Amino acid sequence: MAEPYLSATAMRGGYGKADILNGCTLTVDKGQIAVIVGPNGAGKSTAMKAVFGMLALREGRVTLAGEDITGLTPQERVRKGMGFVPQTHNIFPTMTVEENLEMGAYIRQDDFTGTLEQVYDLFPAVADKRKQNAGELSGGQRQQVAVGRALMTRPSLLMLDEPTAGVSPIVMDELFDRIIEVARTGISILMVEQNARQALEIADIGYVLVQGANRYTDSGQALLADPEVRRTFLGG
Amino acid sequence: MDLLNALVAILNFVVIPAASYGAQLALGALGVTLIYGILRFSNFAHGDTMAFGAAMVILITWGLQALGIGLGPLPTALLALPFGIALSAVFILGTDRAVYRFYRRKRSAPIILVMASVGVMFIMNGLTRLIIGVDEIRFDDGARFVFTVRDFRDWTGLSEGLSLRVSQLITLVVTALACWGLFRFLNRSRAGKAMRAYSDNEDLALLSGIDPERVVRLTWLIATALAVTAGTLYGLDKSFKVFNYFQILLPIFAASIVGGLGNPLGAVAGGFIVAFSEVAVTYPWKKIATYLGFEPQGLLQLLSTEYKFAVSFVILIVVLLFRPTGLLRGKSV
């Protein structure tokens, strides 16, 4: 069997002495949407940060397209094709939408106007506000700018840390639609979500983490149908 | 006629002096605000960077004068300025390497960097005094006036006179050019945008592949260039004395805080607000009141000039109490 595009296996590590991740494994195939759900404090965001290199691992390895990237810094991983959208502070508030996207493409030496147009096509709402400061936009539009910024490097894996935190249900649905569109272009998606039910509906693969370890792993639909998962994690 | 005379008097004694003083403060405050935005601390050594830079410019000016090189009606110091900036930049980048980088790597709290900058301030102050002495130095050669009070009276026939000194005109022109260049750089160029991005959101800038050390170096370079320019213009306008530059730090801090720390446009506005307040409060308005038909008893001077720094203090306190982020929304202190 071919190795998955992203494979983070048996990750162990944390911020202090106590480990937050206890043998957590995450894999995503090309163009797949993978969703990490779980109760508060399960280590969802920490697992994502570990994949991105923001957390030093004690054990385990991360490979991208077959290449071992366990020792790389986040910046180096961006150059390898990872895009990361932090949960908060994910835009440059006093810069215009267009400048935010330009900064996203900072490492690119080639002409990125094509990518800029693609991002505007994907998010028409922010395209209308390209000369406006990103800090003046609504919560949902800010998230779109944040995702757009990460897309400017043309990543092959896009990681989203709770992209729908603090936005209205309508905006949330729209964001999920956009994320599906991004995945259709062949970009793999790994995201952490609080809105577990909605997120699992669009997930090709879902990971339920508990105490830093995998509790359930299955397709999104299967997890939604699992009475045990429903009862324990989805509130019935 | 009296109304015109009153206007001319206001122009001569308030507007022109305050505008050139404000321009000098604005250049200084721009440097403080850039360093605050990027390196995230208030640089107490900024006043002495101005002094050190101006001292370098004076030394080079003397050298050029000895060689017989000059700019005709313009002060030779303008020719010496780029060299003064270069020398100061080397020194300032050295202090960053030797002092600030250590604390930056340790991710020290801003107050530690502030205290380190106080140390750098004392060292630079002492060094400048050692190099050039503590006496007052005038180094403005060339023509003194664009037009004098007498010229103006002859042209207009008004009883009130108006003069414009070369140093004042140069201050305004150089400041306008420097601001134009700086804002163009920050808003248009890739490196300038990277600086703004780093100031806005350091972590996201790192993720975007912006090299923090490059941004920091660039910031020191620009802040030093602005400081040396401000220091030279201030020295040309008012004469050079090391201790004056230590004192000017207060109005410069007031200007950058009034405008909103980290906000360059605010720093410029703040410079002029502080300068105009200072001059307006310490100017005796008696003459102008008389022109307007009043018969004032006293001088109508709200505060004697010895207390001019109190104006900066009051502005600083009022802003910090009622609008801590400054007029143009910088970072809160």
Give the C-alpha separation, A112 to A117, whole Å.
9
Least confident among A76-85, A112-121, B306-315: B306-315
Contacts of B205 in chain A (CB under 8 A): 92, 103
pTM for the whole structure: 0.90
Tell me the residue length of chain A. Answer: 236
Domains of chain B: 2-322 (1.10.3470)
The predicted structure's pLDDT at residue A16: 83
Classify strands B145-147 and A157-161 as parallel, antiparallel or unpaired: unpaired
The predicted structure's pLDDT at residue B268: 96
Q: Going by C-beta distance under 8 Å and a sequence separation of 6 or more, which residues neighbour residue B254? A: B270, B274, B312, B313, B315, B316, B319
Task: State percent of chain A over pLDDT 90.
Answer: 89
The predicted structure's pLDDT at residue A236: 65
Q: What are the pLDDT digits (tens) for B90-142? A: 999 999 999 999 999 999 999 999 999 999 999 999 999 999 999 999 999 98
The predicted structure's pLDDT at residue B296: 87
Q: Is the pLDDT of residue A6 over 50?
A: yes
Q: Which residues pair with A12 in a beta bridge?
A: A22, A59
CA distances from A110 to A105, A113, B124 (A): 9, 9, 44
Q: Is the pLDDT of residue A199 over 90?
A: yes
**Positions of chain B with pLDDT under 70:** 330-333
Residue of A nearest to B194 (CA): A103
Mean pLDDT of chain A: 93
Q: What are the pLDDT digits (tens) for A145-184? A: 999 999 999 999 999 999 998 889 999 999 999 999 999 9
The predicted structure's pLDDT at residue A234: 82
Contacts of B206 in chain A (CB under 8 A): 74-75
Q: Which site among B208, B211, B325, B328 would you substitute to test the A interface, given the most A Cβ atoms closer than 10 Å to its Cβ?
A: B208
Question: Nearest CA to A87 among A201, A194, A196, A205?
Answer: A194
Half-sphere exposure of B240 (CA within 13 A, CB side): 28
Question: Nearest CA to A181 among A173, B291, B165?
Answer: A173
What single-letter amino acid sits at B160? E
* pLDDT mean over A107-126: 95
The predicted structure's pLDDT at residue A127: 95
Tokens of A149: 């910024």
At B223, which helix (H) or strand (E)?
A: helix B212-238
Range list of β-strands (E), B52-175:
145-147, 164-165
Q: Do B203 and A75 touch (CB under 8 A)?
A: no
Residue of A nearest to B186 (CA): A95
Contacts of B200 in chain A (CB under 8 A): 92-95
Q: What are the pLDDT digits (tens) for A14-60? A: 988 889 999 999 999 999 999 999 988 899 999 999 999 999 899 99
CA distance A230 to chain B (A): 36
Give the C-alpha separation, B37 to B23, whole Å.
21
The predicted structure's pLDDT at residue B25: 97
Tokens of B90: 């080397």
The predicted structure's pLDDT at residue B241: 95
